[in-house]
Amino acid sequence: MAFVGQAVKRKEDLRFLTGKGTYVDDIVLPGTVHVAFVRSPYAHARIQGVRVEKALQAPGVLRVLTGEDFAREGVRPMPVGWLLPTLRIPPRPVVAKEEVHHVGEVVAVVVAETRAQAEDAALLVEVDYEPLPAVADVERALAPGAPQLHSEAPGNVAFTWEIGDAQAVEEAFRKAHKVVRLKLRQQRLIPNAIEPRASLAQYHPGTGEYTLYTTSQNPHVHRLMHAAFILGIPEHKLRVVAPDVGGGFGSKIFPYPEETAVLLAARLLGRPVRWTARRSESFVSDAQGRDHATEAEMALDGEGRILALRVRTLANMGAYLSLFAPAIPTYLYGTLLSGQYRIPAIHAHVTGVLTNTVPVDAYRGAGRPEACYLLERLVDLAAQELGLDPAEIRRQNYIPKDAFPYPTPVALVYDSGDYAAALDKALELLGYETWRREQEELRKQGRYLGIGLASYIEACGLAPSKVVGQLGAQAGLWESALIRVAPTGKVEVYTGSHSHGQGHETAFAQVVADLFGVGLEDVEIVHGDTGRIPFGMGTYGSRSAPVGAAAIYRAAEKVLEKARHIAAHLLEVAPEDLEFREGRFEVKGVPGRGKTFQEVALQAYLAHNLPEGMEPGLEASAFFDPANFVFPFGTHAAVVEVDPDTGEVKLLRYVAVDDCGNQINPLLVRGQVEGGVAQGIGQALLEEAFYDEGGQLLTGTYMEYAMPRAHHLPRVEHGHTVTPTPVNPLGVKGVGEAGTIVATAAVANAVMDALRPFGIRHLDIPLTPEKVWRAIREKTPAA
């Protein structure tokens, strides 16, 4: 193979780096008008009235729509796409009519000629609120007498869910030599794509068709949700286009109320309607991530072998259930609690709790970072309490490489892995022993170095439709591809995956160019438009390489098969007498006798000399529905120094050893890991969405919400191992979330290792200078 496996530079970067990308906000439609949203300043309040008269008289204002208007137009609540048996779904209106349940919820939509006019007029909409008691914290939300959000979900419980064998766990704990306990919080995060969400809707009155240009990671799912579930229009009357999208990290998977609002406004006004989020709006309207309060216990024998794990998690779902939200703290968290370890018994219980905060859903890693962090903190504490080395306790508990396929006690069957090899590589790259010695030396001088390890497993390549269907998904998670070869042999690939930074235009072209023996420039990847792509399930859960590229591979195989028959006919030999090499069908054993791929493509369209009964043209489509998830893995290692006088954490080294099976493009893999690590470090050290008790977001701008900046980030030193998966024809596993899943745990473990001499056992992330400094002061009051 010429391209697959090569660190080919991204084709799309020329466009992006020279400012020639086309984002939603770049699309200009004549006559466009603008929307501003009136958002609730209250976390919980009854709406007694919305007075729009003053706003309507403001310059340029064309219309003000309230919850009443949306109800009158028959707009339905936002859908939930993953059903659990115990799920209670409080309806989430596009525009609130009776009550608001979080700060930022939309209560009115102002449409005006310009954005400034719409925003000015939004200030004139008078909403009479009767403030109600609010609750932002999961434990308080479950306490007796807590403010109640929705009558549909008594006690603020959206669902309870459990997995594993509680009795087996109980028995294992009875026999345990050591039980390690940990109560922790995983803070809420706010996704921060460079491009904020934006939507532009157009209605074509002649045909009754809508076009929605929007920042979506999966335009077909957006179309299905908006057409069939929210607006109640035929799906074929809505075209959704997601052009260049500047990052999503999960937050652009879901349909949002703002999109429905511009669609409806476009129809009512008969003009294109645009909205582009202000960053402050993103903070209170993009689905947020994580937010767990967990109590966990790990049982071990005298040698440090893990016997059992028991987990109880309260997952903050926010004010409503977002599209995939129920799946995140359950099937993407509870099922990952075995990590890389052979744990005979596991039991996890999760309660999904509704609070007066912005709804939570998938954020890069979605459930899996939470599982990894919990497990890796426990393993480190177990090592500490048993006097074992953190590397050794991991090694002795790993699932051995000859145990695959490996069924865990929490429902998954791991495909392939060699966990010790990745650990060894990480230790070697880091110089683990040397750093341990250095740590000891420096401690004598009052310097506090910490070394942290974290081993992760990820379930990605979402997902086998049969499995997710049984678990409550309301759609199959296959992917589609259509490959169309033009008469000149140029290739168009229509994929249901969507690239919003991952580099699919390059990686997918590498796969196809190799198979057809053509150049990378001969292959065009088309994505992000329901009007051009037959169907697709989009990009999330690191599925585009293992599922999207696999569908492309399958479609390419079909094209090649037809091409082989045409070539055989032209060369007057049997198809099996041909071999295809470097873009040519050659008659075996007769060098020089053959037809190029381009010659065959032309013949397919000229059509005057095709095999009997064959239709003209050269194209094929395929749907790939994986038989299993894929399970990438790896070990990351961090070295930090903590300044005891300021509490500041400095990252000195960061080693990432990842195994995502065969790599299509090692450059993309590196980029994905590094971006992920940056986000993981953000969670470990800086980021936290903080709500006060009344549900006000106190970190609503970048002044308070600390994103990692360049100086916070170390150079990531990469290593990799390659354990191909048998689940797809390319042997690839996903890598888009790997760094985020593991980096938080590696860095947190390093900081806690540094703080050991102070007798500090655990601190919750983010490990900000203030938190670390206070903890040190508490333990050393005289200092």
Which stretches of the chain bind ligand MCN, using CB under 6 A? Answer: 193, 247-250, 364, 500-504, 507, 539-545, 660-665, 668-669, 672, 675, 732-737
CB of 543 vs ligand MCN, minimal distance in Å: 5
CB of 717 vs ligand MCN, minimal distance in Å: 19
String of DSSP letters for 274-290: EEE--HHHHHHHS-BEE
439 or 663: CB nearest ligand MCN: 663
CB of 666 vs ligand MCN, minimal distance in Å: 7
Cβ pair 677, 696 in contact under 8 A: no
CB of 244 vs ligand MCN, minimal distance in Å: 12
CB of 366 vs ligand MCN, minimal distance in Å: 7
396 or 662: CB nearest ligand MCN: 662
CB of 217 vs ligand MCN, minimal distance in Å: 8
CB of 413 vs ligand MCN, minimal distance in Å: 20
220 or 394: CB nearest ligand MCN: 220
409 or 708: CB nearest ligand MCN: 708
CB of 668 vs ligand MCN, minimal distance in Å: 4
CB of 89 vs ligand MCN, minimal distance in Å: 25
CA dist 716 to 230, 673, 722, 740, 767, Å? 44, 9, 19, 13, 20
Q: Which residues of 12-33 are buried (b: 16+ CB within 10 A; e: fewer)?
A: beeeeeeeeeebbbebeeeebb
CA gap 410, 337 in Å, rounded = 7
Residues 6+ apart with CB under 8 A from 209: 203, 237, 238, 239
CA gap 213, 239 in Å, rounded = 8
Q: Which two tokens stand for residue 431?
A: 């110089």
82 or 540: CB nearest ligand MCN: 540
CB of 467 vs ligand MCN, minimal distance in Å: 18
29 or 667: CB nearest ligand MCN: 667
Residue among 417, 325, 308, 408 at smallest CA distance from 367 = 325
Residue 31 DSSP symbol = T
CA gap 15, 671 in Å, rounded = 18
User: What's 324-382 look like in SS3?
Assistant: CHHHCCCCCCHHHCCCCECCCEEEEEEEEEECCCCCECCCCCCCHHHHHHHHHHHHHHH
Residue among 643, 671, 675, 655 at smallest CA distance from 746 = 655
CA gap 460, 467 in Å, rounded = 13
Question: Between the CA atoms of 10, 15, 19 and 23, what dihedral angle is there, to the nearest 10 degrees?
Answer: -100
Q: Which two tokens stand for residue 240?
A: 């959704």
CA gap 668, 672 in Å, rounded = 6
CB of 188 vs ligand MCN, minimal distance in Å: 17
CB of 546 vs ligand MCN, minimal distance in Å: 6
662 or 699: CB nearest ligand MCN: 662
Task: Count how many residues are written for the chain.
Answer: 783
User: What's 489-517 look like in SS3?
Assistant: CCEEEEECCCCCCCCHHHHHHHHHHHHHC
Amino acid code (one letter) for 465: S
Q: Which two tokens stand for residue 282?
A: 């993103």
35 or 287: CB nearest ligand MCN: 287
365 or 594: CB nearest ligand MCN: 365
Amino acid code (one letter) for 766: P
On the CB side of 581, CA atoms within 13 Å amount to: 9
304 or 734: CB nearest ligand MCN: 734
105 or 361: CB nearest ligand MCN: 361
554 or 733: CB nearest ligand MCN: 733
**CB burial class (10 A; 0-12, 13-18, 19+) of residue 365?**
buried
